[in-house]
A and B are shown apart, each in its own frame.
Chain A
Amino acid sequence: GDSVTQMEGPVTLSEEAFLTINCTYTATGYPSLFWYVQYPGEGLQLLLKATKADDKGSNKGFEATYRKETTSFHLEKGSVQVSDSAVYFCALGFSGGYNKLIFGAGTRLAVHP
């Protein structure tokens, strides 16, 4: 079945370090891919998305490119801040509006000054 695999956390970085969180997926068909972020005490917020192969999603300095050949959607940021500390979830979904999202296990990021 369809699934998402994320690198395990926690990931601990110093401020201004480069971030990569790996995400790979297995899917039948052509899903859209998403990164959601959950800050402490809050709900899941959509960070970025890509709807087809080679699309790059970007937001708040984060980027991820939909790589169909490697079935990956790795999240990157060039210089993290303490305020980026959160749990990051990779997810896939299919067009149709009411289709479910399938999430990875989440990766906790801790950035220290």
Chain B
Amino acid sequence: EPEVTQTPSHQVTQMGQEVILRCVPISNHLYFYWYRQILGQKVEFLVSFYNNEISEKSEIFDDQFSVERPDGSNFTLKIRSTKLEDSAMYFCASSVIRDRFSYEQYFGPGTRLTVT
């Protein structure tokens, strides 16, 4: 069964460093997402991406964040200068539309980012 994959599973970085989190969505999916979950808190939407551009972003997704689909398979989230509060589990998801009312987002296993 196709699945969303994410690498690395755990990333440790120092404050102020840049990190790139990588995702490989399901191959025929067209919509891509990043979410994050700070330990003990809700899963929060960061950004959605369709047709090579951002469709929607949350207030969390400030200028320090960027997304890219550099080739036909990868979808990346970059944090330019990490802060302690960026420590969280980051989930990538992808979806395909079956009809107007039925769509499902498929999630990867997550990347745990620890900023020290």
A associates with B: yes
Interface 1/0s, chain B 54-85, versus A by CB < 8 A? 01101000000000000000000000000000
With A97-B31, A102-B45, A105-B41 as known contacts, state yes or no: A43 contacts B109, CB within 8 Å.
Answer: yes
Whether the pair B50, A98 counts as a contact (CB closer than 8 A) is yes
User: Which partner residue on chain A sits nearest B100 by CB separation?
Assistant: A95
CA distance A9 to B48 in the complex (A): 30
Q: How far is the CB of B84 from chain A (nearest CB, A)?
A: 22
Dominant secondary structure at the B interface: strand
- One of A21-29, A44-52, A71-79 contacting the partner: A44-52
Residues on B facing A (Cβ under 8 Å): 4, 6, 30-31, 33, 35, 41-45, 48-50, 55-56, 58, 91, 93, 95, 97, 100-110
B101 partner, pick from A46, A52, A102, beta carbons under 8 A: A52
Whether the pair A100, B106 counts as a contact (CB closer than 8 A) is no
**How many cross-chain pairs have Cβ atoms below 8 Å apart between A and B?**
68
Indicate whether A99 reaches chain B with its CB closer than 8 angstroms. yes
CA distance A56 to B100 in the complex (A): 18
CA distance A11 to B107 in the complex (A): 24
Contacting residues of chain A (80-96) with chain B, CB-CB under 8 angstroms? 89, 91, 93, 95
Whether the pair B45, A43 counts as a contact (CB closer than 8 A) is no
Whether the pair B42, A100 counts as a contact (CB closer than 8 A) is no
Residues on A facing B (Cβ under 8 Å): 32, 36, 41-46, 49, 51-52, 89, 91, 93, 95, 97-106
With A43-B107, A98-B50 as known contacts, state yes or no: A51 contacts B101, CB within 8 Å.
Answer: yes
Whether the pair B105, A101 counts as a contact (CB closer than 8 A) is yes
Whether the pair A46, B43 counts as a contact (CB closer than 8 A) is no
CA distance A51 to B35 in the complex (A): 22
Whether the pair B107, A51 counts as a contact (CB closer than 8 A) is no
With A98-B48, A100-B33, A106-B43 as known contacts, state yes or no: A43 contacts B101, CB within 8 Å.
Answer: no
CA distance A102 to B4 in the complex (A): 20
- Could you list 20 examples of A-B contacts with CB < 8 Å? A32-B101, A32-B103, A43-B91, A43-B108, A43-B109, A44-B43, A51-B101, A52-B101, A93-B105, A95-B100, A95-B103, A97-B30, A97-B97, A97-B103, A100-B33, A100-B58, A101-B33, A101-B35, A102-B45, A103-B44
